[in-house]
Amino acid sequence: MPEQRTAAPAASAGELLSAYRPGDAFFSTATGALHGTGALHTLDRIDDLPATLADAGPGAVAMGAIPFDTSRPAHLVVPRTVRRAPSPTEGPTPENRWRPLGEGWRVTPVPEPEAHVAAVERAVKLMADDAELRKVVLARSLRVEGDEPIDVATVLANLVWRDPTAFVFATDLPERDSGTRTLIGASPELLVAKSGREVLSNPLAGSAPRSADPTKDQRNAVDLLTSAKDRHEHAVVVEAVAESLRPFCRTLSVPAEPELVKTATMWHLSTRVNGELIDHDVPVHTLAAALHPTPAICGTPTGRAFDTITDLEPFDRGFYTGAVGHSDARGDGEWVVTIRCADVAGTTVDLFAGGGVMPESDPEAELAETSAKLRTLLLALGVNGTV
């Protein structure tokens, strides 16, 4: 069995970014980056990771994604070569700069904005009629089409340039008729990270758009932090994350109050849940499976929310609101929630964004939230206009 080869650390994450080609795997965070090329193994079940990584040899790493619907196949790869960088790319450099793409994009909403508002109204009514259904996360999609194949490497570079401390990722997916297919994005939300006995999850729920006006931007942040609706939504998610991790942990720290975190386009309510594992041999993928899907991307209770999403959303989420990340042979690694992302195939990009619908939600405000979230990928593509 050939062993995975891990190259010496690169001088910077920018070098890894410059080396990326479609079909590779790329994952960067505020603390470093990984770039995988080639494939020793391809897996469609996350439970097969431990045995496969053991066979791949010391230092082996698996990278890839799992879908929203856990009954469907994952897409995971043990790269032949993995290069690491110890620090992220920060700000414009020769390797990391804003790169323009073409013009003439054709944008098709799925569904139309009015239909998304109607779906939110329907979800609010369902919760009014059924007190057990506490939250439903509804998403919408944009299909963006160009005349030439999408330059995935450029989109990835633009995402890193704008949000260098986000979880920026690109991983190949099973091909369509149009050929190579890539899941790409800049997620702000850590599903779970594990190092030895230490485990961390950072759920986000409750959002507000950023503004170029500093005064308005600060007001949006304060309004979010004091919003009863958003704090309730956030508390539902944190409660579920803590309950999922508690059986694995000797100690678990859950702050009583959320904090504000920001991306280039959004403010979020954030809570960092830290724990010490009872068994340090529990692999990170087991923790990810226990957590996924969280109420942040599905709702609560999970089964009822999932069925409601299936009834109300007119598209297949695929790997959107799944998880993307990496695991090593020791069981350590990081997995993030697959949001602020796009599915790229040929000349077509499918973008996704959603929001947590609560009994007190305003449908028009929910539409505006998805529009703000879609800006992350639209800006990376160079698409202007309202959505």
Alpha helices in 226-350 (DSSP H): 228-245, 284-291, 302-312
Strand segments (E) across 2-57: 5-6, 25-29, 32-37, 41-43
Express the helix, strand and coil content of the chain in percent, nearest 5 each.
Answer: 30, 35, 35
Residues with catalytic roles: 135, 189
Phi-psi region of 40 (alpha: psi -120 to 50; beta: other; left: phi over 0): alpha
* Tokens (6 digits) for 33: 């980056």
* Tokens (6 digits) for 47: 């439970």
Alpha helices in 166-227 (DSSP H): 214-225
CB 254 within 8 A of CB 273: yes
Task: Describe the crossing of helices 152-162 and 363-381 by its angle, rounded to 10 degrees.
Answer: 120
Task: For residue 111, give Cα distances in angstroms to 141, 274, 359.
Answer: 7, 38, 22
* Tokens (6 digits) for 153: 């490497």
Strand partners, 145: 106, 348
CA–CA distance, 221 with 227 (Å, rounded to integer): 10
